[in-house]
Amino acid sequence: MTSPLFTWLSATERLTAFALLLQSVEWLQARAALSDSGVWQFALLAPEQRALPPPLRQLCAWLLPYRPFVVLLALRCAACALVLVWGHGALWPFLCLSQILVCIRFRGASNGGSDALSVVLSSALCVPALWGRTPLAAQAALLYIGVQVTLSYVIAGLAKLRQPDWRTGQALCHFILSSSLGPPALLVRLASRPHLVRLAAWGVMAFECLFPLAWLSEPICLLFLACGACFHAANVWVFGLNRFFWAWLAGYPAVLSCCQLSAVLYAR
Amino acid sequence: MSGRDYAALFLSFALLLLFVRAPRRELRSEGLSLLRSLFPAWRFFEEIAEIPVLSHRVIAQDAAPGPWRCTLHAPARSAGMLFLYAAGNLHLAQQSLVEHLLALRQEQPGGDDLSSTTSYRLVQALVLQQIRNEHPEVTGQYQFRLCERGQPDDVPPLLLSQSHTL
């Protein structure tokens, strides 16, 4: 019978592979923008890469021009598919390094937080890949991911809590109404009701700041994760941040494993 | 949980709060900027900030400058956007280029020439691509500007480019 730890590890690996697969497919669909006649022309980006350490700079020179980059994206898709279908953990070092290279191609990040969490996920999953699929390696990887996912909510929540505009609801109203996709009609009507907006803003801050409570027990953890999934789904609808949804969802099995770990530690 | 556990939890939270409140210093390093995905800040939608709108105009040969046109057009939402939303993410990445250029302008408010910077040249490439999509055969010059969303036309733009040849 498979240990729950390896069940969570496998779930994290597959969800992360799915998230990275979607990102890679999207960039392949939009590859014209990366070509030498597109916007992100390598010739325009290369000068900045001189600031990188020489080995990384050389790797960028080989892999980030248009044609090699398209091949790299295709290889990422294949690697992600292998992980999804056959659970090949050995591919994580390639996926981690290629994730960093993709970020460099877009001058650090193309989608902000989802790129950062993708690096966290893929780098953590390198640990069992490189040091052997042992309980200690699995636990270390899951603990690192669980802590980072928790920190991502708490730091974001505390940073919002400091801002008077968030406490009054004005900031949430502003962000919704200024969505680059155009605000959904339903939310425009809701935004005209200050009390509802303030309630929603405090709901977001409460969810984020109190997320560490998810480590206390499994029912509380599942509740927070369900709220998180709904929160990220709403962000997909309002802001088009679909990569955030899958990146954070990929970290949720790790949060569950951390909840179980803390239960074990307290039982002692 | 015992009293000591609650104290540990409270102390952890207090330390995190201090960390979030601590003044931040931006590191100005091109290398670190390219590797910033390795150093997540985990701050999202923190403060209300200006939203720059990129627009452009064509100055055809022997003609007056054309009207300012919005360069970026948001794609429609779709049923499958939860899974694949290439157009949406491309739009977000393009908007990010514009915001980087505005941030650069705000760092150098003295009117320094930004045309040799990577940020400017990427936005320039974005504008040129849009013009080629709209008017494949047009010749002459073009110009672009950044304005705050909803800004009246009589207010000076946040950034006005020089004229470039098509």
DSSP assignment of A131-154: H-S-HHHHHHHHHHHHHHHHHHHH
Q: pLDDT (tens digit, 9 = 90+) per residue, A202-245?
A: 999 999 999 999 999 999 999 999 999 999 999 999 999 999 99
Query: What is the spatial distance between Cα A257 and Cα A262, in angstroms, rounded to a whole number?
Result: 9
CA distances from A222 to A146, A227, A257 (A): 14, 9, 11
Query: What is the spatial distance between Cα A97 and Cα A26, in angstroms, rounded to a whole number?
Result: 19
Nearest-Cα residue of chain A relative to residue B74: A181
Nearest-Cα residue of chain A relative to residue B53: A180
Asked whether A245 and A235 are in contact (CB, 8 A), the reply is yes
Asked whether A97 and A42 are in contact (CB, 8 A), the reply is no
Interstrand relation of B69-70 and B164-165 (parallel, antiparallel or unpaired): unpaired
Q: pLDDT (tens digit, 9 = 90+) per residue, B114-148?
A: 888 999 999 999 999 999 998 888 889 999 999 98
Binned at pLDDT 50, 70 and 90, residue A95 comes out as very high
Residues of A in contact with B129 (CB under 8 A): 37-39
Question: What global pTM score does this model have?
Answer: 0.92
- Cβ atoms within 10 Å, residue B36: 20
Query: What is the spatial distance between Cα A87 and Cα A11, in angstroms, rounded to a whole number?
Result: 10
Which residue of B15, B19, B26, B89 to mutate against A (max A Cβ within 10 Å)?
B89
SS3 category, A54: helix
A174 touching B (Cβ < 8 Å)? yes
Domain ranges of chain A: 4-267
Residues of A in contact with B77 (CB under 8 A): 181, 184, 237, 240
DSSP assignment of A162-228: T-HHHHHTHHHHHHHHT-TT---HHHHHHHT-HHHHHHHHHHHHHHHHTGGGGGT-HHHHHHHHHHH
Average pLDDT over chain A reads 94
Chain-chain contact of A104 with B35 (C-beta, under 8 angstroms): yes
The ipTM is 0.93
